[in-house]
């Protein structure tokens, strides 16, 4: 039998046994029994956030950057509901998080008690799994089970709701006993059956114009070396998805770009011109596919995914392989023919030169593209880049030349404005030595900027580059293109002075308005030992190109006519 502990102690002991060193959270009434014992566990570093959404996003950034499970604490009711955006973000992008929420006492559950929310009910669709614990003896096993579920298979967020009185009650914890997991319905695909591998290999060997569509799975399964080896052996150009960026070095000759709505035109065209798409750890997202009936009609498709439910969900495929991408690519590599495809490679190169998607239209004014290009140059493509969603995200994805694995953290699936501020804090805590740049829009930044206090409090030298155009830029773009130019509620006419804001938070603040000053400012920010905001005042209205409208196809491709 284990030692006698309170429920709160058991939570901490179990977290330590899961290798947790940092927890992001904000206390409240129902979770106080846990905070009450936290001081006994100095190995658990608690990072106090300013809003629970920040806790979830910071845990997410920590998880993506470190490959470990991120942990967030929140109290019942509003504390727990504030986590939801962060959980949904992690769910869409398959990021392992364990969120622990306080709940009102067992006797009060269901009575509309103060700060009561049915958070397990509310988070059902945005978690991989969740739990409401009702007995103190279940705390240990549930936490170990939750970590197992969060980190294995297709990772995702898991929420554990613990009533206040359960955390106060005495129980026992025994790691050896409580770590035994019994989950008959939970299976983790590893290698794939030979017949699936052989079918895929046959298609690859038969193909003349194959292309990889490499997704987040490459990063999650750390299949960087395998992807590179297979691409080189069979001479397969690599298109990455938005979340697959930094899964394949952008200075590699076989690297193409990212396709879809705002991807490089040549990446979309390479998919369209191919005779075989190998979707590796990607899910044929609608921002890539657009109109399903017109997507890459001349190509066969192989879908490799760890989640069997993704196969055939949107695009019908010719061969499917279910397994862990790292293992699967390892199974495929020895069986494919080593070939050269000079014509196909030349064709892809030709697409790149015919469609200069990364050319920056020069108006003389500073634009978001200049800032990202400057960042890429100064940091040599080696910084950790966090973004939210919108124009700043697309420019970052297009113009930053990622050369290091797993250095791109953005809210892809959910498209969460404000993800960029707290996720950078999580990433910096995971990688204290790394240079972390958060590229923000002025809209998203103001959704979560209270977390700057968290960065300052924890002495985290995160650099924030605000691409400030006083607009919800992507909204302006859509309204101009698809809503007859009727721009509504897209302009921020009273943005704060971000330099003074930085100073108010105790950070360094800088402002840049000229193209020529970009790189110097970035150098200066990099050299500063603490957190920095650089307010880049950019062109007010500028569209992101190329663009394929939602639900469209390659035929609807719009390129920048100024180029």
One character per residue 265-304, x = contact with another protein (rule: CB under 8 A): ----------------------------------------
Is 459 a residue that touches another protein (CB under 8 A)?
Answer: no
Q: Which stretch binds another protein (CB under 8 A): 39-47, 123-131, 265-273, 522-530?
A: 123-131
C-beta of residue 501 within 8 angstroms of C-beta of residue 466: no
**Footprint on residues 320-359 left by another protein (CB under 8 A):** 320, 322-323
Between 120 and 391, name the residue whose CB sits nearer to another protein: 120
**Footprint on residues 404-423 left by another protein (CB under 8 A):** none
Between 114 and 195, name the residue whose CB sits nearer to another protein: 195
Q: How far is the CB of 89 from another protein (least distance, A)?
A: 18
What's the Rg (C-alpha) of the chain?
24
Q: How far is the CB of 309 from another protein (least distance, A)?
A: 4
Between 320 and 406, name the residue whose CB sits nearer to another protein: 320
Catalytic-labelled residue, pool 114, 208, 362, 482: 114
Catalytic-labelled residue, pool 92, 167, 394, 474: 474
Is 42 a residue that touches another protein (CB under 8 A)?
Answer: no
Q: How far is the CB of 501 from another protein (least distance, A)?
A: 40
Residue 169, CA distances (Å) to 10, 27, 150 in order: 10, 19, 27
Q: What sign has the CA pseudo-torsion 133, 137, 143, 146?
A: negative
Q: Which tokens sit at 337? A: 């023919």
Between 17 and 191, name the residue whose CB sits nearer to another protein: 191
Identified binder of another protein from the candidate list 39, 253, 308, 356, rule CB under 8 A:
308
Q: Which stretch binds another protein (CB under 8 A): 20-28, 66-74, 146-154, 449-457?
A: 146-154
Q: How far is the CB of 101 from another protein (least distance, A)?
A: 16
Between 273 and 305, name the residue whose CB sits nearer to another protein: 305
| 474 among known catalytic residues | yes
What φ, ψ does residue 238 adopt, rounded to 5°? Answer: -115, 110
Is 149 a residue that touches another protein (CB under 8 A)?
Answer: yes
6 contacts: CB under 8 Å, gap ≥ 6:
33, 37, 167, 168, 169, 170, 171
**Footprint on residues 63-122 left by another protein (CB under 8 A):** 120-121
Between 179 and 222, name the residue whose CB sits nearer to another protein: 179
Closest CA to 370 of 400, 413, 334: 400
Q: How far is the CB of 243 from another protein (least distance, A)?
A: 19
Strand-pair category, 70-74 with 97-103: parallel
User: What distance in Å separates the CA atoms of residue 222 and residue 216, rounded to the nearest whole number?
Assistant: 10
Q: Which tokens sit at 259? A: 């396709």
Is 19 a residue that touches another protein (CB under 8 A)?
Answer: no
Q: Give the length of the chain.
A: 563
**Footprint on residues 160-199 left by another protein (CB under 8 A):** 179-193, 196
| 542 among known catalytic residues | no
| E-assigned strand segments in 225-367 | 238-240, 255-257, 276-280, 300-305, 319-322
| 331 among known catalytic residues | no
Cα distance between the two ends of the chain = 72
Q: Which stretch binds another protein (CB under 8 A): 15-23, 145-153, 202-210, 344-352?
A: 145-153
Between 102 and 323, name the residue whose CB sits nearer to another protein: 323
Closest CA to 94 of 220, 224, 279, 215: 220
User: What distance in Å separates the CA atoms of residue 253 and residue 105, rounded to the nearest whole number?
Assistant: 60
Between 189 and 473, name the residue whose CB sits nearer to another protein: 189
Identified binder of another protein from the candidate list 68, 128, 355, 373, rule CB under 8 A:
128
| 212 among known catalytic residues | no
Catalytic-labelled residue, pool 115, 168, 235, 479: 115
Helix (H) or strand (E) holding 100: strand 97-103
Three-class secondary structure of residue 98 per DSSP: strand
Q: Which stretch binds another protein (CB under 8 A): 49-57, 127-135, 272-280, 342-350?
A: 127-135
Between 192 and 554, name the residue whose CB sits nearer to another protein: 192
Q: How many Cβ atoms are within 10 Å of 497's Cβ, its own excluded?
A: 12
Q: Which tokens sit at 465? A: 């580059």
Q: How many Cβ atoms are within 10 Å of 19's Cβ, its own excluded?
A: 9
Is 129 a residue that touches another protein (CB under 8 A)?
Answer: yes
Question: What DSSP string runs through 374-431?
Answer: HHHHHHTT-SEEEE-SSHHHHHHHHH----STT-EEE--SS--TTTHHHHHHHHHHH-
Identified binder of another protein from the candidate list 107, 309, 481, 563, rule CB under 8 A:
309
Q: How far is the CB of 94 from another protein (least distance, A)?
A: 12
**Footprint on residues 499-518 left by another protein (CB under 8 A):** none
Closest CA to 248 of 277, 211, 276, 274: 211
Between 128 and 255, name the residue whose CB sits nearer to another protein: 128
| 547 among known catalytic residues | no
364 contacts: CB under 8 Å, gap ≥ 6:
515
Catalytic-labelled residue, pool 52, 116, 226, 310: 52
User: What distance in Å separates the CA atoms of residue 556 and residue 563, rounded to the nearest whole number?
Assistant: 18
Identified binder of another protein from the candidate list 198, 285, 307, 349, rule CB under 8 A:
307
Catalytic-labelled residue, pool 68, 73, 92, 164: 164
Give all strands of the β-sheet with 70-74 in edge-to-edge order: 45-48, 22-26, 70-74, 97-103, 157-163, 129-132
What's the distance, CA 228 to chain centroid? Answer: 22
Between 138 and 264, name the residue whose CB sits nearer to another protein: 138
Count of residues engaged in binding another protein, rule: CB under 8 A = 35
Q: Which stretch binds another protein (CB under 8 A): 59-67, 232-240, 306-314, 504-512?
A: 306-314
Instruction: Tell me which residues are annotated as active site.
Output: 52, 114-115, 164, 474
Sites of contact with another protein (CB under 8 A): 120-121, 124-125, 128-129, 132, 148-149, 152, 179-193, 196, 307-309, 311-313, 320, 322-323
């Amino acid at each position: 039998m284990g030692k006698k502990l309170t429920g709160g102690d058991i939570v901490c002991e179990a977290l330590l046994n899961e290798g947790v060193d940092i927890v992001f959270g904000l206390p409240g009434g129902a979770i106080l029994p846990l905070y009450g014992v936290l001081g006994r566990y100095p190995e658990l570093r608690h990072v106090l956030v300013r809003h629970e959404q920040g806790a979830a996003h910071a845990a997410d950034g920590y998880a993506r950057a470190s490959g470990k499970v991120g942990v967030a604490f929140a109290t019942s009711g509003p504390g727990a509901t504030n986590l939801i955006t962060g959980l949904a973000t992690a769910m869409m992008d398959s990021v392992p998080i364990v969120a622990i929420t306080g709940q009102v006492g067992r006797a009060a559950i269901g009575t509309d008690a103060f700060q009561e929310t049915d958070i397990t009910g509310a988070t059902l669709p945005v978690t991989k799994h969740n739990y409401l614990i009702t007995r103190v003896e279940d705390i240990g096993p549930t936490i170990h089970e939750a970590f197992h579920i969060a980190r294995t298979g297709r990772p995702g967020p898991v929420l554990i709701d613990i009533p206040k009185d359960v955390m106060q009650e005495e129980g026992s914890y025994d790691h050896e006993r409580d770590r035994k997991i019994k989950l008959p319905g939970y299976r983790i695909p590893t290698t794939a059956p030979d017949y699936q591998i052989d079918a895929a290999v046959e298609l690859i060997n038969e193909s003349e114009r194959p292309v990889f569509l490499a997704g987040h799975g490459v990063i999650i399964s750390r299949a960087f070396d395998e992807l590179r080896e297979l691409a080189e052996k069979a001479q397969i150009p690599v298109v990455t998805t938005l979340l697959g960026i930094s899964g394949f070095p952008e200075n590699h000759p076989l690297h193409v770009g990212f396709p879809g709505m705002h991807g490089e035109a040549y990446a979309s065209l390479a998919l369209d011109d191919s005779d075989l798409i190998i979707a590796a750890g990607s899910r044929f997202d609608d921002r890539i596919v657009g109109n399903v009936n017109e997507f890459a009609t001349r190509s066969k498709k192989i879908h490799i995914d760890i989640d069997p439910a993704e196969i055939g969900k949107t695009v019908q495929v010719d061969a499917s392989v279910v397994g862990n991408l790292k293992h699967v690519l390892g199974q495929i590599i020895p069986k494919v023919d080593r070939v050269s495809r000079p014509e196909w490679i030349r064709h892809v190169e030709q697409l790149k030169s015919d469609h200069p998607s990364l050319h920056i239209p020069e108006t003389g004014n500073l634009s978001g593209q200049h800032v990202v290009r400057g960042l890429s140059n100064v940091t040599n493509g080696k910084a950790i880049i966090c973004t939210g969603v919108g124009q700043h995200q697309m420019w970052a994805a297009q113009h930053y030349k990622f050369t290091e694995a797993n250095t791109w953290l953005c809210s892809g699936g959910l498209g969460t404005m404000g993800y960029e501020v707290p996720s950078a804090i999580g990433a910096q805590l995971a990688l204290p030595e790394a240079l972390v740049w958060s590229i923000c829009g002025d809209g998203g930044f103001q959704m979560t900027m209270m977390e700057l206090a968290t960065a300052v409090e924890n002495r985290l030298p995160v650099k924030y580059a605000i691409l400030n155009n006083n607009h919800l830029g992507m909204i302006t773009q859509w309204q101009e293109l698809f809503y007859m130019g009727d721009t509504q509620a897209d302009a921020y006419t009273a943005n704060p002075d971000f330099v003074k804001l930085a100073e108010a938070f105790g950070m360094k603040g800088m402002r840049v308005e000229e193209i020529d000053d970009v790189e110097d400012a970035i150098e200066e920010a990099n050299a500063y030992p603490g957190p920095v905001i650089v307010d880049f005042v950019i062109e007010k209205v500028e569209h992101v190109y190329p663009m394929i409208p939602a639900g469209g196809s390659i035929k609807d491709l719009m390129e920048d006519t100024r180029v």
